Amino acid sequence: MRTHTLLSLTLLSLLLWASCTRADDTDSTQTETQEDTSKDTTEETSAEEEESKETPEKEKTSEIEEDKDVMILHINNFARALSENQYLLVEFYAPWCGHCKKLEPVYAEAAGKLKEQEEEGIRLAKVDVIEEKELGEEFEIGSFPTLKLFSNGDRKQPLDFSGKRSAEGIVQWLKRRAGPGVPVLDSADSAAQFIDSHNITVVGFFDNLESEEAKVFKELALDFTDSEFAVSATTEVFQKYEVKANSVVLFKKFDDGRADFSLSEEGKLDKENLTTFIKDNSLELIIPFSQETAEKIFTSSIQIHSLLFINSSVESQTALVQESRTIAREFKGKMLFVVLDVTEAMSHVLNYFGVSEKDAPTARIINMETGKKFNIDSGDLNTNSLRQLCQGVVDGTAKPYFKSEEIPEDWNKGPVKVLVAKNFESVALDPTKNVFVEFYAPWCGHCKNLDPIWVELGEKYADKDDLIIAKMDATANEVESLSIEGFPTLKYFPAGGKEVVNYSGNRDLETFSKFLDNGGVLPEEEGNDEEDEDDDKEEVVSDEEADDSAEVPTNKTSKDEL
C-alpha cells in the first residue's frame, strides 16, 4: 500500500510540477510543523522580532480588520467573529510557513469569490498562531496551515477542512456545508430536470429518507463537491429509473450513462464502498490526463493504469484512442485507461516513463502497487497488441521493462564513473571490484550538495584498482533488483558478490573514507544514533527548496517528487 501511495504522489506531483502548479491545490494535508521549519527560519524570525521592537504594537480590541476580504482575528475579537458569522472558516498559520505563504493568495481569492457571490453568513478569517499562542493552544494547532470551520458560533467542535486547497475548492466545500442539504426529488419530472442539469449526479433511492442509510448518503455528499447529490423516496421516480428502494445510481453524461450501486445483503450502506464506487465511476472510460483529472486517477481503487501517449494534432492517433474504447470496456474495473497528449507541457511525466514526443503513439502500463512498468514499442502499437499487453499484465505473464540511458563514451574517464542501467551490472556487480554508488536525481538539492564531496572521494581513491566510486541518475535509469525511494541513496557493492550495504553515515569525506577503508563497514564511533538525529535537523527540505528542486519536507528527498 505504501508503494501505491508513493507512486500516486510521484505521478501527481509530476503533472502539477510540469503545469507550474503546486500540489497544494489538490492535497488538503500539506502542512508544516513548527519543529520542521523553525530551524530554516531562525534568521527571518529574528529579523521580524527586531522589526517588531521598532514598531509599537497596535492595541487589540474587539474590532475586526480585514486583509483582502479575509478577517484578521486575535484573542480579543475571535468570539465576536464567531457570533456574527454563521459559517466561519479560519486559517491558523505561521508567518514563516512556506505552505501558508503559498495558500495566502488562494485563500484571499476564495474570500473574494464569496463576497462577489454575496454568500450571506459565510466568511474567511485567519489567525497568526505565533502571535496568538492562546488560540493555537485552545484549538490544538500542531501544523501549518490548519483550516477549521466554525458553525453557528460553536467554539467547541470546529470541523477540519477536507476540501481542495484551491479558491474554487474552498468555495465549493463551504457552500456544500452551508447549503440547504441534499435536495429531495419528489416527482419524475423534478428528477429528470435535476439529473439532466449536471454532468455527474448521484441519487440515493430510499424507502425512508430518515433511515440510517439515507443519513450516511447525505453525510457523504458533503465531501464530493465535484458531483451533485439528491435523494428520493417516491415510487414514481423509482419506476422511471427502474430501481428498487435502498439503492444508489450514479448518472453521467458520458460512456454508459449510469452506474448502479447495490447495498450489502443486510441492506446496509457502506460509506467506504460507496466512496470507491463514486470515484471509480466518475471517471471516463478513457480519461484525458490533466491537472483536473490527476487526483481522481491516483485516488482510484484500480491500481493498474494503461497510458496512451498520442499527438492530438495527428488524426490517426486520435482515431486510435477511439478504437481503444472497446479494450477499455473489456478491462473496466481491472484497469484505468488514460490518454496523454505529448504536445502539452508535461515533459517530466514523459521522462518518468521514458517517452519522447517523437515516440507517439505509444503505450505504457504501470502497476501502482508493485511499481512495475510495461510497454509497447511505437511501431507495434495497435488495438491487438494493446489488448494482448493488457491481458498479459492482468494475468501476470507480461514482462516489465526498465529504463536506461545510453552508455556515455567517457563513462569511465573521470574520478567518478557514470553508470546507466545498461552497464550497471557489469560494473557494480563485478566480483573483482568494490563499488560505492550514489543514486541521484538531477533536481535534488541534497545531491547537488554532495556532488563536490563525491568527486573528491573519487579522486582520493582513483589509484585503487579494486575500488570504484560511481554515480547513476536514478530518474533516467532503472535496475530490476534495486528499489530507490529517496535521493541521494548510497549503496556499497562489495567484491565477491557479498551482500549490498546501504550507507547511512555522515555525508562527508572523512566518514566516507573511514567507511571504505574499513571494508564497507561504518566504524563503531560513527554509529547512526547521532547521525539520525542530525538528519532530522539537516535533511528536512524547506518550502523554498521544494520550489527549486521539487523536493518535499522529508528527512530524505523522496522519489515521490521526481
Place of cell 574517464: 413
Query: Which residue among 90, 220, 274, 444 is the active-site one?
Result: 444
CA dihedral 135, 138, 142, 145 (to 10 degrees): -40
| Cα(421)–Cα(325) distance, integer angstroms | 35
Query: Which residue among 82, 97, 110, 346 is the active-site one?
Result: 97
DSSP assignment letter at 344: S
The C-alpha cell at 417 is 564513473
97 is catalytic: yes
The widest CA-to-CA distance across the chain, in whole angstroms, is 88
Runs of H (alpha helix) within 90-226: 98-116, 133-138, 167-178, 188-196, 212-221
Place of cell 483529472: 293
| Cα(508)–Cα(492) distance, integer angstroms | 16
CA dihedral 158, 159, 163, 165 (to 10 degrees): 30
390 is catalytic: no
Instruction: For residue 502, give the 3-state DSSP assignment.
Output: strand
| Cα(55)–Cα(67) distance, integer angstroms | 19
447 is catalytic: yes
Instruction: For residue 349, give the 3-state DSSP assignment.
Output: helix
Query: Which residue among 100, 233, 320, 474 is the active-site one?
Result: 100
154-157 own/partner pairs: CB under 8 Å, 24+ apart: 154/82, 155/79, 155/82
**Nearest one of 7, 522, 96, 528 to 305, comparing CA atoms:** 7
DSSP secondary structure, 390-451, as one string: HHHHHHT-SPP----PPPPTTTTTSSSEEE-HHHHHHHHT-TT-EEEEEEE-TT-HHHHHHH
20 is catalytic: no
| Cα(467)–Cα(545) distance, integer angstroms | 34
| Cα(544)–Cα(314) distance, integer angstroms | 40
DSSP secondary structure, 357-371, as one string: GGG-SEEEEEETTT-
The C-alpha cell at 355 is 517517452
Whether residue 77 contacts residue 64, with contact meaning beta carbons closer than 8 Å, is answered with yes
CA atoms within 13 A on the CB side of 211: 18
| List of residues 6+ apart from 211 with CB closer than 8 A | 246
Size (the chain), residues: 562
DSSP assignment letter at 342: T
Packing angle of the helix pair 212-221, 271-281 (nearest 10 deg) = 50
| Cα(345)–Cα(405) distance, integer angstroms | 22
Residue type, 554: T
CA dihedral 281, 147, 139, 144 (to 10 degrees): 110
Q: Which residues participate in catalysis according to the annotation?
A: 97, 100, 444, 447
